Amino acid sequence: MKKILSLIIVLIILFGCSSNKMSKIMPVEKKMEIANDFFEKGKYNKAIPYFSEVVFERNSIYTPTAQMKLADCYFNQNKFTEARFEYEELIRLFSDYKDIGRAYFQLGICYYNESLSPHYTQEETYKAIAAFETFIEKFPFDKLKKDAIDYIQKCRYKLLMKKYYNGYAYYKLFDYSAALMYFDEIIELGNNNEPDRMSLYYAAKIYLEREDIENAKLTGQKLINRYPQTDEAEKIASELEKIK
Can you tell me the mean pLDDT for 58-75? Answer: 94
Whether 92 shows a pLDDT value over 50: the answer reads yes
pLDDT digits (tens, 9 = 90+) for 98-130: 999 999 999 999 999 999 999 999 999 999 999
pLDDT digits (tens, 9 = 90+) for 220-232: 999 999 999 999 9
Let me know if residue 219 belongs to a domain.
Answer: yes
Let me know if residue 196 belongs to a domain.
Answer: yes
Cα 83 from Cα 230, distance rounded (Å): 43
Let me know if residue 213 belongs to a domain.
Answer: yes
Burial class (CB in 10 A: 0-12, 13-18, 19+), 217: middle
Let me know if residue 76 belongs to a domain.
Answer: no
Let me know if residue 111 belongs to a domain.
Answer: no
pLDDT digits (tens, 9 = 90+) for 134-171: 999 999 999 999 999 999 999 999 999 999 999 999 99
Non-local (6+) Cβ contacts of 36 within 8 A are 47, 69
Number of structural domains (the chain) is 1
Burial class (CB in 10 A: 0-12, 13-18, 19+), 211: exposed
Report pLDDT for 13: 46
Torsion of CA 200, 202, 204, 205, to 10 degrees: 160
DSSP 146-203: HHHHHHHHHHHHHHHHHHHHHHHHHHHTT-HHHHHHHHHHHHHTT--SHHHHHHHHHH
Of the candidates 188, 184, 155, 189, the residue with the CA atom closest to the CA atom of residue 167: 184
Candidate from 19-23, 28-32, 181-185 with smallest mean pLDDT: 19-23
Let me know if residue 221 belongs to a domain.
Answer: yes
pLDDT digits (tens, 9 = 90+) for 176-222: 999 999 999 999 999 999 999 999 999 999 999 999 999 999 999 99
CATH number for the domain spanning 238: value is: 1.25.40.10
Let me know if residue 194 belongs to a domain.
Answer: yes
Let me know if residue 167 belongs to a domain.
Answer: no
- Helix or strand run (H / E) with residue 25: helix 2-25
Range of the domain at 191: 174-244
Whether 16 shows a pLDDT value over 50: the answer reads no
Report pLDDT for 4: 52
Report pLDDT for 244: 67
Confidence of residue 5 (pLDDT cuts 50, 70, 90): very low
Q: Classify each residue of 140-165 as buried b or exposed e, where b means 16 or more C-beta atoms within 10 Å of its C-beta.
A: eebebbeebeebbebbebbbbbbbbb
Residues in the chain: 244
Of the candidates 116, 120, 63, 131, the residue with the CA atom closest to the CA atom of residue 94: 63
